[in-house]
Structure formats: structure tokens, C-alpha cells
Amino acid sequence: MNTNQTKWLPLGICAVSLSSPSVLADIKTKIINGEEVTQGNWPFMVALVSKNMDAYKGHFCGASFIGDRYVLTAAHCIEAKSHEDVEVVIGVSDLSSPDTAKHRYAVEHIYAHDSYSKEPVSNDIAIIELAQAPSESKVTLVDGYARRNLAVGQVLTVMGWGDQNPSEEEISQTSELHKVNVPLVDQDQCTQVPHDGYAEIGDDAFCAGYKEGGRDACSGDSGGPLLLPNNGKYEQLGIVSWGEGCAQPNAYGVYTNVSHFEDWIEQQTVGLNYRAKEVLGVRSLGLILHTFELTNNSDQEIEISKVSSSFVHSSPTINNMSTSITNNNCQTLSVGESCEVSVSYDLDSVGMHEFGVQVHTNSLLATFTPRAYVLGANAAHQGVSDLVDFPNSGVYSTQRWTTTEASISSPVIEHDGSTALIVEGIPTGTVSMDLSVFAEEDHDILEIYINGFQVVQVPGEISGRVDLPMIRDADNSFMIMYKKGGLGAADNGKVTIENMTYTDELITNELNFTPAQEAEDSESSGGTIGWHWLIVLLVGLIARKRSLNHKSDR
């Protein structure tokens, strides 16, 4: 996986290398050799689905309803998603059933663990807050001692709507919920699995499955619950996280340890509501203003002791020196009340910026960190805007892109530099374009973002037709970013866009790429994607149980 940190939105990165055969393996996660469940037996089971999509076609992850307005899932399921992109279906076994509409709920907020890491995977947990309280039954979570007190070999149950074919060449999914039983694995044995990632597993995760393979969760099951039987009922012990392939020998499934996160889950579900990560889109350089809102939906008064613009975070893009609090009326919040913290931020350069505030509470004994993300850019010149001939609210670029009568091309940029073209304010539908990259493999990179989240990353040359789904009700956006490598990269690399079109039909939630020609010789300088890479790249690809082999190749 490419670890370059220059990202439009660092919280949602799906870094997929189309030149590596590990891609197909990465999108394989499902219930293997399980059985179909009986309708109504699992009322807390949740399907995460893309907004404006049919539940079956739009399903990309599992989750569980844990009471009030909260859903529990894996962080990797939603790191490339906003609350505007996701809906949940609760308590429905058949996602093709017409009853799904009665059990479908809008999302209000998403809270991923602040310390979530993709490489190595850790703290893979997130809470989704719904816009209204569901009527379905909840699952009970185990307490903080449950995992350590369980015997090795304890039979557990995992379920989902994911892939049911362990082959890396084919995907076989169904609209019916399936389940399978897997035994708990000794933690030392788990960390000794001879594949990438297992040795780094800590107390926040554990393994379940069979040494010989054969039964497992797989693609599409991520985020779903791993259940512990208890006196005729079930409690949730784990969350489907990742694994080396699906149902492979000597490669157990890895699950987030719910016991380990007992306190964190309690903090996220007390009822202080806020936007954890808010995408503001493109702004011109200069001083920008933004307001963070907090709402008390708990059953108690919340005392806010301090609000600061300075907080520690792993992202190198945070610039607290450029953030000033201009107004703060957050002190004591009664039940149902809201307050606001207004800030100014000096957007002093093109590219991605992140800023936020840190909110300290006395009554909840917790700290909350709302953040905002903004891209500094300039309005594109008229020649570029004229070629974006479909509804939009603005076309922007970080440098001046060039045009001909029918094409848009990136400018010449310096080594280790980047340039981006952004279109905002697009209605629901599909944007298509012919996209070609002249570049050097392993030096130059093309990245595509939809609604602020990176959905694909391609090293080397590429040429073909790309379809970008605009799934939100309004104000969709996409960004084409080209990054030049360091010394050794050619000076004449560029991206060219032609035949850009729009339709108001949202065909799928998938990003489709159709290559323009068959594969060139693997030793050619560009490394062009061949016909065998005519694959569907899911916008939610990151939200899959993933093989951690060949991370650097993604």
C-alpha cells in the first residue's frame, strides 16, 4: 500500500494498485461454508448500504445494532464514507426483500476510533449514530472481562451477506444472510500465523477459525458481529476485521475485541453529538470561517470545561497555529441543548488542510475532537470549465491545467509534486470520462477521489473509460490528482481527460474502469493495465475484509 500522506481526506483512503494481482485477493471477504439463517432470528443484524442504492446492490459491510441510536461496525468499513453516503438496514435477513424499506435508517454521525490504523491494522472499530432510534431489538455486548475469560476452542458465530466463494478468481454473493460457527484461537497461536499483520495483533483483536481453513468470514462481511452463546442468547464478542484471504489454511480470521473497547464504546454512545470529520470541499486561499456544533442527546447535563484549537493527532497536515477560536458558547449543555464553537482558519496554500478543536468535558470524563477538512485551490480557467459540460457548482484546480478543443491535461509539475482537478456540486448520477496517464510505473501516481474520499490509486500508465458514481442527493464532487515521483521520474508525465459526460442515472455504487487496450508486455516502461484488469473497483473497497499480503503492492 502506498503510504504517501498527501491526501484530500486522510481518514478515507482506499489505496488500490491496479497493477498488482493482489487486488482480487484483497476484495475477498465472506461467509464460507456457512448456512442460511432463519428470518427474524437476528433482529440486531445490520447491513451498511450506499445511499440511493438498492439494499442488496448497495450493501458493502455488516454491523450490529447496540441500542438507542447506535450501530457498531469496523472502522475500515466507514473510513472512506461520510454520513451522507451511508444508510443502514436493521433486522432484515433478505436484502432483496421489499420489507427492507421499513427497516432502513439514515445516518447522522460517524465516529471512528481516533487511533485506527490500516497498517498494521489496529483499533478497527467505529460507532454509527442514526438520525432516529430504531424499533428493532439490540444485541448485548460482552463486558470488559469476557474475552480473557473464554477458553480456547469456544464456539462462536459470525454472519453476513458477503462472498461465499473462497476462490480469489470469483465472487459469489447472495441477498440472504448466512452464518457459520468458528472456534476461538489461542492468542499466541494467532500472532504466530506466517502472514503479514498477524505478528502485530495486540489486545485489541483476536483470531477465530480453523487451522485447516474451510470456514470463515469474507468480503462484504466486514464490520459484522462475532457472537458468543450465553444461556440460550447471544452476546457480541467481536467485529469482523481482516484476514489473509478467506477460509485459507494457517490464516485465521481476525476480529476486533469488543471487550477491549468497553470504555471507548461507552464514551461514544453517551449522547454528545458532533461531526467527527467534516468535509468542507474546495475553498479559495485566505481566511475561512467554520462552526462546530455540539448537541446533548444524553439523559444528563453535560459540563464543558474547556475548548481548545490545539490537540495532538497523528496527521502531519494539522496546522493548529492557523486556527483561532472566534466564538464559543459551549459551557453547560442541558439535555436537548446545542452549542457552537466558531473558528477561523488561515488557508495559506493549495492542497489539503485539516483543522479542529478539542472539547473537554467534566461530567463525561471524556475528550472529543471535531475536525474539518478543506482543500485550497483556485477556480479553473474558462477553457477547462467549458469542457465540464454538465451540472456543477464549480470547477477548480491546484495549478493551471491546459486544454485543447476536446481535452483537459495536467500541467508540468516538479518532482515530488502534485496537481489536482476538482468538480463540485454535481447532482445524483454518473460522471464518465476517457482517462489516460502517461507516466512511469512506481514513480508517478494517479488518484481518484469521490466526495472527498480516495477510492483508487494507480501507479504507472493507464488508459480507459472511467465511470464515477455520484451517490449523494446533491453536491457530489470528484477529484483527479496526479502525483509525480522523485528523482528518476520522467519530466513529461501527465493526465489527459476527454469525452467527459454526465447522466442522472445512478447505475451502481461502483467505480467502473474499462481499459482501452489489452495488456502490454510487462516489461514496457508504463505498466499499462491490461484486459484482465477489467474489474469493478468498489467505492467501498476499503470496507472489505482484506488480505494483508503484499501491502506495499496495493
Q: What is the pLDDT of residue 244?
A: 84
Closest CA to 11 of 255, 293, 313: 313
Closest CA to 166 of 238, 227, 249, 58: 249
Please state which of the four CATH numbers 3.90.1150.10, 3.20.20.370, 3.20.20.210, 2.60.40.10 is assigned to the domain occupying 285-376: 2.60.40.10
Label residue 2 by pLDDT band (50, 70, 90). very low
Question: Domain boundaries in the chain?
Answer: 37-140, 141-265, 285-376, 378-516
Given CATH 2.60.120, say whether it is the number of domain 378-516. Answer: yes
Report the percentage of the chain scoring pLDDT > 70. 79
User: Which run of H or E residues covers position 497?
Assistant: strand 494-503
The listed range with the strongest mean pLDDT (156-170, 191-205, 500-514) is 191-205
CA distance 247 to 182: 11
What DSSP line would sit under 288-305, residue for residue?
Answer: EEEEEEEEE-SSS-EEEE
**pLDDT tens by residue, 368-383:** 999 999 999 999 999 9
- 47 band by pLDDT with thresholds 50, 70 and 90: very high
Given a cut of 70, is residue 331 above it in pLDDT?
yes
**Is a pLDDT exceeding 80 seen at residue 329?**
yes
Residues 247 and 171: their CA atoms lie apart, in Å, by 14
- Residue for cell digits 470528484? 478
Residue 497 predicted with pLDDT over 70: yes
Least confident among 255-269, 302-316, 408-422: 302-316
Contacts for 224 with CB less than 8 Å, ≥ 6 apart: 45, 46, 61, 62, 63, 64, 73, 158, 159, 160, 217, 239, 240
- Give the pLDDT of residue 489: 53
| DSSP letter (8 states) at residue 80 | T
Within 8 A by CB and 6+ apart from 26, the residues are 16, 541, 544, 546, 547, 554
Question: 141-265 with 378-516: one CATH topology?
Answer: no
Look up residue 507 and give its three cell numbers.
Answer: 447505475
Average the pLDDT over 141-170 and give the result: 82
Mean pLDDT of the 401-414 span = 94
Alpha-carbon gap, residue 61 to 75, rounded angstroms: 11
Architecture of domain 37-140: Beta Barrel (2.40)
CA 345/CA 324 separation, integer angstroms: 7
Averaged pLDDT of the chain = 82
pLDDT score of 7 more than 50: no
CA distance 414 to 426: 31
Identity of the amino acid at 341? V
**Confidence (pLDDT) at 367:** 86
The CATH H-level superfamily of 141-265 is Trypsin-like serine proteases (2.40.10.10)
Residues designated catalytic: 76, 124, 222
Judged by average pLDDT, the poorest of 115-124, 368-377, 424-433, 541-550 is 541-550
Provide the percentage of residues in the chain whose pLDDT is more than 90: 62
Strands of 453-459's sheet, edge to edge? 378-379, 394-397, 418-426, 476-483, 445-450, 453-459
State residue 435's pLDDT score. Answer: 95
